[in-house]
Chain A
Amino acid sequence: MFRSIVPIAKNTFTDLVRQKVFNIILIFALCAIGSSLLMAKLTFQEEFQMLKDVCLGAMSIFTSLLAILATASFLPRDLEDRTIYTLLSKPVPRFAYLLGKLAGIILLLFLFTALMSAVFCAVLWFREQEVLRETMAQMQGAPAEELQAALAGVTNATFNINLLPGILIIFIKSALLASMTLLISTFATSSLFTVMIAAAVYFIGHLQATAREYWMQGMSSNVFTTTLAAGLALLFPDLQAFNLTDDVIAGAAISWNIFLQTFALGWLYVTVYFAVGAFIFSGREL
């Protein structure tokens, strides 16, 4: 079975690469370099904060978009060009086909996140070196202690070790979205329907925590609103749990415990959504 998953994953990955999705990296690089040039008139603390805000925000937008749009097109396209019939007529279980597709997109999302992180780090590093050089030139006659403090101020404003778990959580969120979109596409009739439902789930998912609190704290005695809140809390993913970069940029630290729990929760969502998707797909008439 593993033999059939790997080629499907490889094929999915290659297919997506051929669709030139990596051009988004180019847009991301332009975003990062452009914003760093645009913000050169701000103080270096402001500039680095903006650069991190814009780049991590763009990373989150691009990975989420790619996860939803690319995954939504798998099944309808394979049905349209009849590839799925050729594949499933061979001894390839339906869930292996789906798993191969999911593995391919997750691999692509990982590579995509890694490349965007590399561009982001490179832009930040170049700007940091520039600001360090300027600071050294401005403080030529200053005592060594003051110079060291000023240089440390620049370095502290740029790289923060907490950015790494923050970026990994952006990746896991995109994998969750891919798995969720795949689940939707197993019963959807078109890719447009899948994209629309996935987008709706994306927005509702960011409000799931509010609905959950509303339900659990018994804020309303109205049966309809309580049932609605319970339904939202039970059926939709809590996407706010994966939005940690905003506060990481602001200086908050992600402890190992929180990181591992968030990471594990993300994979749990991926696994369960895939399993439910495979269950629906196994009974679908093709």
Chain B
Amino acid sequence: MIRKVVAIILLAVFGAIRLPLEMKLDAEQKAAHLRKPVLNLDLRERVGQMGFLAALSGFRSPLAAMLWIEAHNAWEKTEWGRMAGLFDTVTILQPRSTLYWDMASWHMAYNASVAAREDKKQPSEMLRIRNEKQYIELGKHILENGIRNNPTSAFLYERLGVILRDKLNDHCGAGEAFLRASEQPNCPPYVSRFAGYEMAKCPDREREAYDLLLKLYNKGPEERKPSLVTTLQDLEKKLDIPEAQRITLPPQEEGH
């Protein structure tokens, strides 16, 4: 009995010694995004008791994978509402996986929205359009949440820019999203051009677009894509840039 009491005391002393080490490691793991946020009771209701237990025991990723496959099955049956709920749970379980945010947003903004617009069961066109817009907004909202969880993800900013440009016709918002994407590490070079093209269509941001596109143009022939040159020339006219400061293409590039 005495040995057991001594053993508990020894374990407690070990606990006190390792506490500062664990707290330091905990802080470092959190800074490197290697520790997951605390689970809440809302998730407990969504995944059920066993699922919650699995998530608590460190099996978040397999649980997320299983729910994702369930969402895929829901997609095949075009159960959009159920899909949205499952996506929500998956992204709570794995908030650092940009793939889940991107795919969830794409399903809602593209597949579910088109299905809602072409819903034969809904006779009112007004309601069909309203539902379509709601799904697009949901797709946008998913990406915004994804960005909040992954603030340095160029990929998610880019995807947000694409939805704003193609689905919501919001050129100012799209320009801003592409611009933010281009400021993140590992961003593909074409995203900066996208930012310039969209800002060029946004009132009050033409000058900014001109400066950005001119900077890209001056980087060299690699960046002088036909769309960039045309947009830059349009902006030169719109902003009344003096003739001497306008871009001059070498004869072989005139044909672009």
Structural contact, A250 and B38, CB atoms closer than 8 A:
no
Which residues of B have CB within 8 Å of A209?
22, 26, 35
Which stretch of B42-50, B53-61, B233-241 is in the interface?
A: B53-61
Structural contact, A187 and B59, CB atoms closer than 8 A:
no
CA distance A275 to B62 in the complex (A): 35
Which stretch of A67-75, A78-86, A132-140, A255-263 is in the interface?
A: A255-263
* In the complex, chain A residues 218-250 whose Cβ is within 8 Å of any chain B Cβ: 233-235, 238-250
**Cβ 8 A contact of A279, one of B10, B69, B103:** B10
0/1 per residue, B14-57, Cβ < 8 Å to A?
A: 11101101111110110011111010000000000000010011
Which residues of A have CB within 8 Å of B72?
41-42, 46
Structural contact, B58 and A258, CB atoms closer than 8 A:
no
Q: How many A-B residue pairs have CB under 8 A?
A: 141
Structural contact, B26 and A279, CB atoms closer than 8 A:
no
Which residues of B have CB within 8 Å of A257?
28
Whether, in the assembled complex, B131 has its beta carbon less than 8 Å from a beta carbon of chain A, the answer is no
Structural contact, A243 and B58, CB atoms closer than 8 A:
yes
Whether, in the assembled complex, B65 has its beta carbon less than 8 Å from a beta carbon of chain A, the answer is yes
Which residues of B have CB within 8 Å of A107?
none
CA distance A254 to B31 in the complex (A): 11
Whether, in the assembled complex, A10 has its beta carbon less than 8 Å from a beta carbon of chain B, the answer is no
Whether, in the assembled complex, B111 has its beta carbon less than 8 Å from a beta carbon of chain A, the answer is no
Structural contact, B25 and A261, CB atoms closer than 8 A:
yes
CA distance A257 to B27 in the complex (A): 13
* In the complex, chain B residues 66-90 whose Cβ is within 8 Å of any chain A Cβ: 68-69, 72
Structural contact, B56 and A203, CB atoms closer than 8 A:
yes
Indicate the member of A53, A56, A233, A251 with the most B CB atoms within 10 Å: A53
Which stretch of B92-100, B172-180, B196-204 is in the interface?
A: B92-100
Which residues of A have CB within 8 Å of B219?
none
Which residues of B have CB within 8 Å of A43?
103
Main SS of chain A's interface residues? helix
Given contacts A46-B68, A58-B62, contact A268 B56 (CB under 8 A): no
Which stretch of B1-9, B118-126, B136-144, B223-231 is in the interface?
A: B1-9
Which residues of B have CB within 8 Å of A54?
62, 65
Whether, in the assembled complex, A111 has its beta carbon less than 8 Å from a beta carbon of chain B, the answer is no
**Nearest CB on A from B42, distance (A):** 16
Structural contact, A206 and B60, CB atoms closer than 8 A:
no
CA distance A202 to B53 in the complex (A): 12
Structural contact, A265 and B25, CB atoms closer than 8 A:
yes
Structural contact, B64 and A53, CB atoms closer than 8 A:
yes
Which residues of A have CB within 8 Å of B63?
57
Structural contact, B98 and A246, CB atoms closer than 8 A:
no
0/1 per residue, A22-59, Cβ < 8 Å to B?
A: 00000000000000001101110110011011101110
**Nearest CB on B from A34, distance (A):** 12
Structural contact, B10 and A249, CB atoms closer than 8 A:
no
Which residues of A have CB within 8 Å of B94?
246, 250
CA distance A212 to B26 in the complex (A): 11
Structural contact, B97 and A49, CB atoms closer than 8 A:
yes
Closest residue of chain B to A277 (Cβ to Cβ) is B7
Which residues of B have CB within 8 Å of A92?
none
- What are 13 A-B pairs at a CB distance below 8 A? A38-B69, A57-B59, A210-B38, A234-B11, A235-B12, A240-B35, A241-B29, A247-B34, A249-B97, A253-B32, A261-B28, A265-B22, A265-B25
Chain B interface residues (CB < 8 Å from chain A): 3-4, 6-8, 10-12, 14-16, 18-19, 21-26, 28-29, 32-36, 38, 53, 56-65, 68-69, 72, 94, 96-100, 103
Chain A interface residues (CB < 8 Å from chain B): 38-39, 41-43, 45-46, 49-50, 52-54, 56-58, 60-61, 187, 202-203, 206-207, 209-210, 212, 216, 233-235, 238-255, 257-258, 261-262, 265, 268, 272, 276, 279-280, 283
